[in-house]
Amino acid sequence: MKFSCMIWPHSGNTVEPVVRLAQTAEECGFETVYVGDSQMIWNDVWITLAACAVATTRVRLGTGVTNAVTRHPAVTVNAAITLNMLSGGRAVLGVGAGDSAVRTAGLSPAKLGPLRERLSFMQALLRGEEVDALPWGADAREGTWGQESRVQVIGAQEWGDLPVQLACMGPKSVAAAGEICDGVIVDGHMGGNAEGVRKTVEVATDAAVKAGRDTSNFRFIAAIDAAIDDDRATALDKVRPTAARNIARKPWLPDTLGVEHADVVKAVSESYKFYQHLDLTAKHRELIPDEVAMKCCIAGTPDDCVRKGIELRDAGINEISIFITSQDEAGSSNTLRRFADEVFPKLA
């Protein structure tokens, strides 16, 4: 079992809190530090990761996650290669269809077909291959002077060897992760749901095997909101804002969260504000009851967190990634240390 964390680099803060949290994670033995990407509400992910790279020596560093909508995939590939070079080979590229980053910019998440095409394009560039140019936006037209039809990223041959992981929940996108990626990040409510995780592992594994791939090093990552306290109620209060984002705008969730929580799903979906995405002061946090927080998150007493971790491990997860925020550096640092000391040793 591997252990990692995902940090939200909230705007309004400097980069330093994220850097210090990355250093704390490294000190505590975490394998990977991921940083979120949402350009309208958070600090820039690549600059933040670069700052973390020069301040750490061992921990892997990656996007948790970026998307294939707000930047041309070639731009993302070049950023990942540069981070890999700067960090001495410690970069990881986490990609998703797009959530707050695209919604707050007035865009829509990528559909599976374009997402799959862009992932394949990025992986080919990372391998140093010359590939057909990827049409992009309104300016993608033929016949422009100097326009290249075949493209490659210089430098990929030396620094392009890095894992690509897809954050997703639906069975078709999970299958795509198994076929063409190096890992699947089970995010949102599904990341805390053992039965949902088990199905995800099965779908990704079956797809990988059918594609003739070796699954021995494939990552099954549960990305999950986390809080730990000797008082369960205190811990649950801390994760209500992040639990809300797990169920926002997901009308199918009562099927897995429980029909008794259908009213909660509806209320959160109608009131969720993406400009308050993962904000600890967001009003929508008040809509989350204890039962929903417990189902969506790894939160509570140390024993509560160990029980949830065991459920995820037994469902097939081989990496648990806990969410923390630079909005509360002291609290996040405490979360890292307590999980490292009181939870993870019992899951290894």
Structural domain includes residue 167: yes
Structural domain includes residue 175: yes
224: containing domain: 2-132+153-346
Q: Which residue has the higher pLDDT, 83 or 187?
A: 83
327: CATH = 3.20.20.30
Structural domain includes residue 148: no
What does the pLDDT look like over 96-139, one tens digit per residue? 999 888 988 999 999 999 999 999 999 999 999 999 999 887 55
Is the per-residue pLDDT at 176 higher than 50? yes
Structural domain includes residue 238: yes
State the average pLDDT over residues 300-309. Answer: 97
pLDDT the model gives residue 264: 72
Structural domain includes residue 123: yes
Identify the three-state secondary structure at position 110. Answer: coil
Judge whether 245 and 272 are in contact, CB under 8 Å: yes
Alpha-helix runs per DSSP H in the chain: 16-27, 45-55, 73-87, 100-103, 112-126, 156-159, 171-180, 188-191, 194-210, 232-247, 254-257, 262-271, 290-296, 302-314, 329-338
Structural domain includes residue 143: no
Quickly state the pLDDT bin for 254 (edges 50, 70, 90).
very low
pLDDT the model gives residue 192: 75
Q: What is the count of structural domains for the chain?
A: 1
Structural domain includes residue 260: yes
Structural domain includes residue 140: no
